[in-house]
């Protein structure tokens, strides 16, 4: 027996029935790999957005998790799991639209473009929204870096004033094999 990349085991000198079963199994596996995933998941794990770029936010950051925007959606969203306020609570836990910060879906409609690149989404600038008293949204693009961080860029049209580096707080747990 011999193991080929991907864990497929081939029996050397196998008879006709074994060979037909192997061909059927390989055909099934190649069909399954051609089918698009049911739902997008985006970067895996929990990420911290790093300290806010707004002085009034007093160094606050967010812990977030990426997920599919809806059942069977190929779009990616991210939800705020926790606010981190190293310089004491700000008392600002409700957004101008009346929703609580924790649990708010602040990234919407992000699309996987392959090779750890995500584009065409929208991000709520929570810090700016709290300061200005109205919801502020930017276009966003995200790239996965080799060190596990995310390079997130918020843009207004072609102008991209917000460049952030998000770090992994909790890596994704591998599914049992």
Q: Are 126 and 114 in contact, with CB atoms under 8 Å apart?
A: no
Q: For the residues 144-171, what does the mean pLDDT come to?
A: 89
Residue 3 pLDDT > 50: no
Q: What is the CA radius of gyration of the chain?
A: 22
pLDDT tens-digit map of 45-103 = 899 999 988 888 888 999 999 999 988 789 999 999 999 988 777 778 899 999 999 99
Phi, psi (rounded to 5 degrees) for 18: -65, -40
* Cα distance between residue 115 and residue 142, in whole Å: 11
User: Diameter of the chain by CA atoms?
Assistant: 74
Identify any residues that bridge with 139 across adjacent strands, giving them in sequence order: 122, 155
Structure-model confidence comparison of residues 128 and 25, the more confident one? 128
């Amino acid at each position: 027996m011999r193991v080929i990349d991907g864990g497929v085991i081939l029996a050397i000198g196998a008879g006709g029935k074994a060979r037909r079963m192997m061909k059927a199994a390989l055909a099934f596996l190649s069909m399954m790999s051609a089918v698009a995933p049911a739902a997008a998941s985006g970067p895996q794990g929990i990420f911290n957005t790093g300290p806010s770029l707004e002085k009034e936010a007093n160094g606050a950051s967010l812990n977030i998790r990426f997920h599919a925007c809806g059942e069977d959606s190929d779009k990616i969203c991210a939800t705020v799991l926790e606010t981190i306020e190293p310089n004491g609570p700000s008392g600002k836990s409700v957004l101008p639209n009346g929703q609580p910060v924790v649990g708010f879906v602040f990234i919407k409609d992000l699309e996987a473009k392959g090779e750890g690149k995500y584009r065409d989404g929208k991000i709520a600038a929570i810090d700016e929204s709290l300061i200005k008293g109205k919801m502020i949204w930017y276009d966003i693009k995200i790239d996965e870096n080799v060190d596990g961080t995310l390079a997130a860029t918020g843009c207004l049209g072609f102008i991209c004033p917000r460049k952030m580096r998000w770090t992994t707080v909790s890596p994704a747990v591998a599914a049992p094999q």
